[in-house]
Structure 1
């Protein structure tokens, strides 16, 4: 017993039946079958490939990891590879879970590489729109793509919130620490990862739109998915550029702050050098104007205060202090 469903004439008539019964249901032209396989072996896929007439290359792609998102069209079926995404706001990392799907005229077989791909969310989308079940496999495929694209959109939306927090920290009064810098680096890596799984989805969904042009009733639903793909793609690209700009701005601000500190230190050093110079000169053991008289002391004090004050106001006027 596993994730299995049987639709007949647009109605859900059975679910949770053994996978062994799938071959009998597939023979019925009025039936639409879905079943799910999680971490299957090569023998498992070869068994269903004989039943459904799957291409050998498609079976190999379903077993391999890190395939790019794509839609391959064969004579008797289509092969789809997709990635669901989930963003962890605490670490700034995005986790992706890949899944494959074999699409025939009356069957959809999903192959998950990991349990992280939430197939229950796909089932929930099917249950929320039972009126579309009359469209057969395209109805099932739409629910699968809708979950995948929504996960991309949720991830990029969560990343956008973190980018806004980074902006506030960069332009705040507090100095950005190592943890914030590490988080910004992880966020940029996550955006690159997300872009790799979002960008190819445009081509895959667009291909489905072109091939499904005859079914005008369900086409708007695929068009909506395509629009979401475009929005997620553009949003991901803009956030990636924005994070890079934030990092450059952060470095510029740090450089400006360092320059300001150096100017202040240099200015105070110049002011302190004046009394040091004067007292050093008057500390010589040779006669000079005012030597041995109070006049010499007051002359040195006037020079110290006058020259130091002049330097202080000159530096303040240049915004160095």
Structure 2
């Protein structure tokens, strides 16, 4: 079931009225609240109601939870929800201003989790200025009867994920921690997809370096290393939060979900290993490229030195005979000039043959 959710979360959703409902920047009402729903026994309750009414309904009945999704809320837009759910000011500040590292923080009434989302940027050809990965953020407040997601960036929409979870009520019945797991699973699966795409770029660069045109690869290698570093900054810090979620007994996390978090942590380890391998491979490719450049330069210098040595012979002979002394051997002889020319050609030919045998020419 979980694997099906992963695949279905990436399916393109239809557009209605010119608005892409699967990736909304703002709700149709023009607010930061993209969605607000009540779930009881894993089933979404009918009707659209504001957050205040939704949480009141849940707490009066003592059953179910509220899932509120927001996109880049301002402090003013977020203030009402902060007061309603009693969110910690430090976590609220991080959620509003973003640019956080992946982390898991514990507060009295909630857990605050930060995920870095990563998207592969398609390009026809990798250049020294190509953007390879684009990052965003998803913050998740998890409480006893609520889960609040705050998304930053133009990608990583949770709309498709919400729809797929709603078709799996047995998973949603586990409460807010099931939503937290589904988000973690989606984010890490996206890491795997990005890693596979980056692998293709590295393969292209490697082929380029070891081709005849291998002299023009350093700029692309450095660009890939910069983008890989950004990818690494999104992935590596997430290891500790996932290990906590998978191994520790945490408030607001259903013990039955821990096994699923271990699976996500295993997938994250795969991504981290691939990134480490990518970095080492790029270092090797760069070293190979620099060695190729150095060899090409050495070869050019050998050729230039060989030709300079060959040309030094006629230069020396003509220099000697250009001194115009009165008494010089063969100067008044009829065959003097042809003899000197033949001697120069023979010596230059022998030198050229020697350099050719030694691989200098």
Other-structure match for 1:12: 44
Structure 1 residue 100 corresponds to structure 2 residue 133:
no
Distance 1:18 1:50, change over 3 A: closer
Q: 1:185 to 1:111 in 2, by over 3 A?
A: same
TM-score (norm 1): 0.88
**Residues 1:197 and 2:234 are matched in the alignment:** yes
User: For the structure 1 residues 59 and 215, does the alpha-carbon distance in structure 2 shift closer, same or farther, using more than 3 Å as the test?
Assistant: closer
1:66 aligns with 2:99: yes
Question: Which one of the candidate residues 231, 240, 243 is aligned to 1:206?
Answer: 243
Aligned-pair CA distance for 1:205: 0.9
The answer on 1:88 being equivalent to 2:121 is: yes
Which deviates further from its counterpart, 293-302 or 210-219?
A: 210-219
Structure with the larger RCO, 1 or 2 (CA within 8 Å, 6+ apart)? 2
Distance 1:193-1:279 versus aligned 2 partners, 3 A rule: same
- Kindly state the Cα deviation for residue 148 of structure 1 after the two structures are TM-superposed: 1.2
SS at match of 1:188: helix
* Count of residue pairs the alignment pairs up: 319
2:331 & 2:255 partners in 1: Cα distance? 107
- The question of 1:299 aligning with 2:339 is answered yes
Higher helix fraction (1 or 2): 1
Residue 225 (structure 2) pairs with residue 188 (structure 1): yes
The secondary structure found in structure 1 opposite 2:264 is helix
Cα distance between partner residues in 1 of 2:307 and 2:164: 69
SS at match of 1:117: coil
**How many angstroms apart in 2 are the aligned matches of 1:210 and 1:71?**
13
Change (3 A) 1:185 1:316: same
CA deviations on 1:242-267 (whole Å, 9 max, x unpaired) are 22332333222212211111110111
How far does residue 207 in structure 1 lie from its aligned partner after superposition?
A: 0.9
Listed as ranges, the gaps of 5+ residues in structure 1 are none
1:264·1:320 contact (CA, 8 Å) conserved in 2? Answer: yes
TM-score normalised by L of structure 2:
0.79
Partner of 1:235: 274
Shift in alpha-carbon separation, 1:176–1:129, aligned structure 2, 3 A: farther
Contact 1:68–1:200 (8 Å) recurs in 2? yes
Q: Deviations over 1:195-247 (max 9, x none)?
A: 11111111111111124599565433222211111111121222123223323
Instruction: Give me the whole-angstrom Cα distance separating, in 1, the residues matched to 2:168 and 2:215.
Output: 48
1:132 Cα offset (Å)? 1.7
Cα deviation, 1:79-122, whole Å, max 9, x if unaligned, reads 01111111224313321111211001221100123343322243
Instruction: Give the root-mean-square deviation of aligned CA atoms.
Output: 2.5
